[in-house]
């Protein structure tokens, strides 16, 4: 629309800048249309970059590229594993004949990428242990099967599959190979409630503050500050609203962790924040139209995600397993199921979900008719 | 109906007594209608008292008041926690806009109350530890979210949400705060299969007999005899049939416990009986029309509930967690799903469930047309 | 069809042999029709023999008889328990009024039989411990309730109940009675990842090869070679294609076990193969029309079943519980849910499933119309 009307000459430059910014932000549907005429490898790159961004609920190839850069900066080996997982699951989806529109949206990439990243993080065999490529490819491919199988189950209630396949596969991989496996050894996960031997009982405020952006980085299993900031910037490109909720949720997760006295290292590393961030982002803007009500609701969702994560981590930690993003996934699914009038009226049907800003704009067009989408 | 026809003068007194007894027993729908014109706080009291009674499958404010009295008698601190949980979850339901008819029926109070009672029982910080009010309010409020989210899932098969939210939240709270948490410490749950060091291997018959009414009291986490008897009386007011099934189920639970040699203290305290009681009550009269077939069926349900409870308690006990009423809830849900002709024909659709006596009276009106309610 | 046209005299003998072979193989629907006029005990025998074969996904009374012989050969006590469980659950189904066509197909027998066999295998009280008959009857009867309750849940997605009831009941029985129970003691299950003290680190090739047919026998908890071969023969009678997939799947399971270095005794005994065998059989021919695509797909399914089994065994093994056939059941259910075009088009609707050979023949008649059976 905005590209068709002719601007007066003086504003031309400013308008062009705004135009290109608008072009790069949000879902970049224009690029998507443009890409459909390109050869397959070029298209695959776009699909994969969208898949990278999908992990953090964004749907923008530019964000994906930025995040990939951040991962490369943090650890090239991890970035390699991630890309391999991404490709393995996307190609599996193409081979078994998943819906091509879904594949093009990167929906069959992010689970594979996440499982590959986590396999890399938990491996105790060190970087560049090439045998790891085998389980990475296999588990990533299996994620596509799980995605395809869970879709008809969740579809009945208009729920997204989100990261259920990743969460299942990483638990399966880690419990299949034990901690002292001969071929694929890995570190056991440490529950957040485990006691820690440290000299000071004082919490370090600056490290706590660092934990907030790190919580966003931990969504990609990345525990370094600058890559985390870059990831935040990538989310900002997609949607400033989503970026704000990511930070807010991570902060809420930290508060939740403080309130039940989890071990300090869990707070400092951002591990206690990333579920809160995901839970907050899903509700605040993405699956619900933004308003002050959904804003409060997203804070509640962040708290619930964070507390559930501590509970699940303590439970699974007894068997040496991590809770990954089970807590945020389950909480977001619960929130999408809510039938309470004051919240469900803001619910956006899954097939209409776009970036929060676009959701806001689109809201006025269909308000009224679709309030009962959850209780079909 | 019975209030409109004029009795002859001589029978007047007797009839008035019967009338007032009938008025107080069952669902007290007349009071409910009368209450709708009252101011909000008065209505809230009625809703809350119904919520108190809902825990034990009754729907009668008088029963609720009696049970609240029993809890006060057993422990004022526990009663305070229970009321707080009740109010927190009911008010949350009103705020997020749950169906007002459900709120008025007390459906959004009992999960909150139960979770509050259990938090109090498991806390090892002693009575009047005021910090406990914080998690009590938060978990109770979350129960309403879970209720609202689980409803559309279970609705597909015409199943009630029952106490699933409570069971989830208490497990979450207990695993979130560990046993030796700095702020919210709690006792670990002892599995019924754990060996016990006692001098005598002989079972005490009188204590076993006491365990039967205690099993009914344990539904409210109450381990004292007289309050338990008061709770039984409250159920009797609602429905004598339900009261008989409660005792029967508790006895069956004890038998089941004896048959697999659980530790004696589990039998004496009534802990091995309360799941049996709930499982027996749900099938015998409430969700199924009473008949000799459903009576046998309710005994089978009580046995299954009791054995599942022992199994789940042993499993969860290994992580220091209690099995709460998972067993009875799952068993009752399973029984409601049964498609076997000889049982499902007695099934009462969820929106028509009333007190067992009313179910019996109503049965003749709709028999025949609604036998296939489970396999829609 | 082939029985109605008159053959020329010279071919008569050969044709009669083929006819009788064809009569005995496959689903033996002709015998089924013939049986409907027989007295109840004779019919019950046919239903039960079908139930015996159903465990290994076959539906043929002759296969059932052969398998029963194999079990008797391996251990008369085990065979007795199996028959008792079979009868208990079939009779329960008749009493509670399950669909008579399902009962006649043996669908209400195999879960009861399996749970009885496993109770026998795990019992540490030795053979001919008569008290065991009590839990065997009760758990087998409960399997029918679970079957009846799970059916409407799974029906929504056109999924079979398969062995979910068995898997639930055996876990419940084993966790209800602990390992050192006073009345019903049992061996704890050893996870496949547990370290093993043996002098040689070398694997014995001949024992590995023996493990492949043993993997098929382990479906009936039978760990001896010749009975396992007999069970394979019984599957061959029903369907040579299914038999080939059973061996293939068991081999795949062994490969999976080797790749994550499970303990050798798990490989030798066939325990690492039986989930692979079941997963391979379900996809390769039974629930999907046979073709080279579904053949590759069945190998993928076998690998996924085998790896999931190792993961679940390690997890449940920490609590002393076996993973039974959870892995294969869940994997097969997942595969049936797949919506990916290239696989779901081969899916056979549950009510049309017959022997693989008949599925192939029938395929041409309904191809085209029923490809979207999974996403109704």
- β-partners of residue A347 are A288
* pLDDT the model gives residue C198: 60
Q: Is residue C158 domain-resident?
A: yes
Residue A138 lies in a domain: yes
Is there a single domain that holds both residue B232 and residue B341?
A: yes
Same domain? B242 vs B316: yes
Residue C7 has pLDDT above 60, yes or no: no
- CB count, 10 Å around CB of A342? 15
Percent of chain C exceeding pLDDT 90 equals 69
Model pLDDT, residue A362: 82
Q: State phi, psi for C186 to the nearest 5 degrees.
A: -145, 160
Confidence at residue A180, expressed as pLDDT on a 0 to 100 scale? 83
Q: Can you tell me whether residue A321 is helix, strand or coil?
A: coil
Q: Which of A121, A154, A187 is the last residue of a domain?
A: A187
C-alpha A31 chain-centroid distance: 22
| CA dihedral of C153, C159, C164, C165, whole degrees rounded to 10 | 60
Q: Do C148 and B340 count as a contact with CB atoms less than 8 A apart?
A: yes
pLDDT tens digits, one per residue of B166-192: 999 999 999 998 888 889 999 988 888
Alpha carbon distance C192, C271 (integer Å)? 9
By C-alpha distance, which of B138, B200, B206 is closest to B172?
Answer: B138
* CA–CA distance, A303 with A299 (Å, rounded to integer): 6
State whether A139 and A208 are in the same domain: no
Structure token digits, residue C22? 């064809």
Residues of C within 8 A of B335 (CB-CB) are: 145, 149
CA distance B260 to chain A (A): 27
Q: State residue A364's pLDDT score.
A: 62
Tell me the mean pLDDT in the region C152-161.
94
pLDDT at residue C181, as a whole number: 86
C259 vs chain A: nearest CA distance in angstroms?
8
Distance between start and end Cα atoms, chain B: 34
SS3 of residue A52 by DSSP? helix
How do residues C318-362 score in pLDDT, each as one tens digit? 888 999 999 999 999 999 999 888 888 899 999 888 888 888 888
Per-residue model confidence (pLDDT) at position B198: 60
Number of neighbours of residue B41 by Cβ within 10 angstroms? 7
pLDDT of residue B368: 46
Among residues A176, A197, A178, which one has the least CA distance to residue A186?
A: A178
Q: Are residues B208 and B182 in the same domain?
A: no
Token reading at A155: 């579809």
At B369 the pLDDT is 45
CB contact under 8 A, C375 and A146: no
d(CA C181, CA C124): 10
Question: Looking at residue B362, what is its pLDDT?
Answer: 82
Q: Scan for tokens 């006792």, then name that residue.
A: B187
d(CA C370, CA A308): 42
**CA-CA distance, B364 to B361, in Å (whole number)?**
7
List pLDDT tens digits, range A130-150.
Answer: 999 999 999 999 999 999 999
State which residue of chain A sits closest to C296, comparing Cα positions: A96
Chain A residues whose C-beta sits inside 8 Å of any chain B C-beta: 156-157, 193, 259-261, 300, 303-304, 307-308, 310-312, 314-315, 318, 333-335, 337-343, 374-375
CB atoms within 10 A of CB C226: 13
Residue B341 near residue C97, CB atoms below 8 Å: yes
Q: Do A340 and B97 touch (CB under 8 A)?
A: yes
Residue C255 inside a domain? The answer is yes
Residue A373: per-residue pLDDT: 41
Q: What is the pLDDT of residues B47-79, one digit of tens each?
A: 999 999 999 999 999 999 999 999 999 999 999
Phi/psi zone of residue C212: left (φ > 0), alpha (ψ -120 to 50 degrees), beta? alpha
Could you tell me if residue A6 is inside a domain? Answer: no
Task: Work out how many CB contacts closer than 8 A connect A with B.
Answer: 74
Residue C174 within any structural domain of the chain:
yes
The pLDDT value recorded for residue B230 is 96
Using an 8 Å CB-CB cutoff, list chain A residues near B178: 193, 314
Specify the number of domains making up chain C: 2
Task: Kindly report which listed range (A187-201, A338-352, B116-130, C94-108) carries the lowest average pLDDT score.
Answer: A187-201
Name the minimum distance, in Å, from the CA of C85 to any CA of chain A.
Answer: 32
Domain enclosing residue A154, as ranges: 38-187
Residue carrying the six token digits 């029982």:
B121
Q: Using CB atoms, which chains have 3+ pairs under 8 A with B?
A: A, C
Among residues C159, C187, C215, the one where a domain terminates is: C187
The pTM assigned to this predicted structure is 0.91
Q: Is the Cβ–Cβ distance between A237 and A24 less than 8 Å?
A: yes
In this prediction, residue C10 carries a pLDDT of 58
Domain boundary among C161, C187, C213: C187
Taking the CA of residue C130 as centre, how many other CA atoms within 13 Å lie in the half-sphere pointing to its CB?
A: 0
User: pLDDT per residue over C168-217, tens digit each?
Assistant: 999 999 999 888 888 999 998 888 877 776 655 688 899 999 999 999 99
Residue A290 included in any domain: yes
Segment C113-127 shows an average pLDDT of: 94
The confidence score (pLDDT) of residue B342 equals: 87
ipTM score of complex: 0.90
DSSP state of A181: -
Does residue A376 form part of some domain? no
Same domain, A235 and A119: no
B171 CB neighbours in chain A (<8 A) are 311
As to burial, measured by CB atoms within 10 angstroms (0-12 exposed, 13-18 middle, 19+ buried), residue C151 is buried
Say yes or no: A259 and A211 in one domain: yes
Contact A348, A16 (CB under 8 A): no
C8: number of Cβ within 10 Å: 7
- What per-residue confidence (pLDDT) applies to C371? 43
Top-confidence range, B130-134, B363-367, C348-352: B130-134
Here the CATH number for the domain that contains residue B225 is 1.10.3430.10
Number of other CB atoms surrounding residue B69 within 10 Å: 15
What is the rounded CA–CA span in Å between residue A19 and residue A28? Answer: 12
Report the residue of B103, B125, B140, B145 to disrupt the A interface, i.e. the one with the largest count of A CBs within 10 Å. B145
Q: Looking at the structure, tell me whether residues B173 and B126 fall in a common domain.
A: yes
- Per residue, the 3-state secondary structure of C270-336, as one string, reads CCCCHHHHHHHHHHHHHCECCCHHHHHHHHHHHHHHHHHHHHHHHHHHCCCCCCCCHHHHHHHHHHH
Q: pLDDT at position C321, please?
A: 94
- In chain A, which residues have pLDDT < 70? 1-10, 197-201, 364-376
The larger pLDDT score, comparing residue B279 to residue A198, is at B279
Q: C239: which DSSP letter?
A: -
Under DSSP, is residue C209 helix (H, G, I), strand (E, B) or coil?
Answer: helix
Tokens representing residue B287 in the block: 């969700």
* A211 and A354 belong to one structural domain: yes
Residues of A in contact with C300 (CB under 8 A): 145
Residues of A in contact with B152 (CB under 8 A): 157, 337, 339, 374-375
pLDDT tens string C248-268: 999 999 999 999 989 899 999
Q: Would you say B239 and B58 are in contact if contact means Cβ atoms under 8 Å apart?
A: yes
Maximum pairwise Cα distance, chain B: 70
Q: Are residues A102 and A210 in the same domain?
A: no
Residue B346 sits in the same domain as residue B215: yes
pLDDT at A366: 54
- Greater confidence (B279 vs A32) lies with B279
A97/C308 CB distance under 8 A = no
- Provide the H-helix boundaries in chain A: 12-24, 29-35, 40-54, 61-74, 76-96, 100-104, 110-122, 133-155, 164-176, 205-217, 225-238, 240-259, 264-268, 274-281, 292-317, 326-337, 341-344, 356-366
Residue written as tokens 């993080």?
Answer: A121
Token representation of residue A250: 């991570």
Based on the fold, state whether residues C177 and C221 are members of the same structural domain: no
Residues B138 and B73 in one domain: yes
Decide if C337 is inside a domain. yes
> Do residue B261 and residue C145 have CB atoms under 8 angstroms apart?
no
């Amino acid at each position: 629309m905005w590209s068709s009307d002719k601007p007066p000459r003086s504003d031309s430059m400013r308008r062009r800048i705004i135009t290109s910014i608008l072009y790069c932000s949000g879902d970049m549907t224009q690029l998507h249309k443009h890409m459909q005429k390109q050869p397959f490898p070029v298209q695959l790159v776009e699909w994969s970059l969208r898949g990278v961004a999908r992990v953090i609920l964004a749907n923008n190839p530019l964000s994906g590229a930025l995040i990939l850069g951040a991962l490369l900066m943090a650890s090239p080996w991890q970035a390699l594993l991630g890309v391999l997982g991404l490709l393995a699951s996307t190609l599996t989806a193409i081979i078994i004949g998943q819906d091509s529109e879904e594949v093009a949206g990167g929906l069959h990439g992010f689970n594979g990428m996440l499982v590959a990243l986590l396999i890399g993080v938990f491996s105790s065999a060190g970087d560049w242990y090439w045998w790891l490529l085998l389980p990475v490819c296999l588990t990533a491919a299996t994620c596509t099967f799980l995605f395809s199988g869970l879709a008809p189950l969740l579809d009945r209630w208009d729920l997204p599959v989100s990261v259920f396949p990743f969460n299942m596969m990483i638990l399966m991989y880690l419990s299949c190979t034990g901690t002292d496996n001969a071929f694929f050894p890995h570190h056991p996960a440490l529950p957040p409630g485990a006691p820690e031997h440290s000299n000071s009982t004082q919490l370090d405020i600056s490290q706590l503050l660092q934990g907030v952006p790190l919580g966003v980085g931990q969504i990609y299993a990345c525990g370094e500050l600058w890559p985390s900031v870059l990831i935040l910037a990538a989310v900002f490109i997609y949607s400033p609203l989503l970026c704000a909720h990511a930070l807010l949720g991570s902060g809420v997760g930290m508060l939740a962790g403080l309130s039940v006295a989890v071990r300090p290292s869990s707070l400092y590393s951002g591990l206690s924040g990333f579920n809160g961030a995901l839970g907050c982002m899903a509700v605040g803007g993405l699956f619900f139209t933004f308003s002050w009500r959904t804003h409060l609701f997203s804070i509640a969702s962040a708290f619930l995600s964070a507390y559930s994560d501590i509970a699940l981590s303590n439970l699974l930690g007894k068997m040496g397993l991590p809770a990954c993003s089970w807590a945020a996934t389950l909480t977001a699914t619960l929130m999408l199921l809510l039938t309470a009038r004051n919240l469900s009226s803001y619910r956006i049907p899954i097939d209409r979900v776009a970036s929060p800003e676009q959701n806001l704009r689109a809201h006025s067009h269909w308000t009224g008719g679709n309030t009962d989408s959850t209780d079909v």
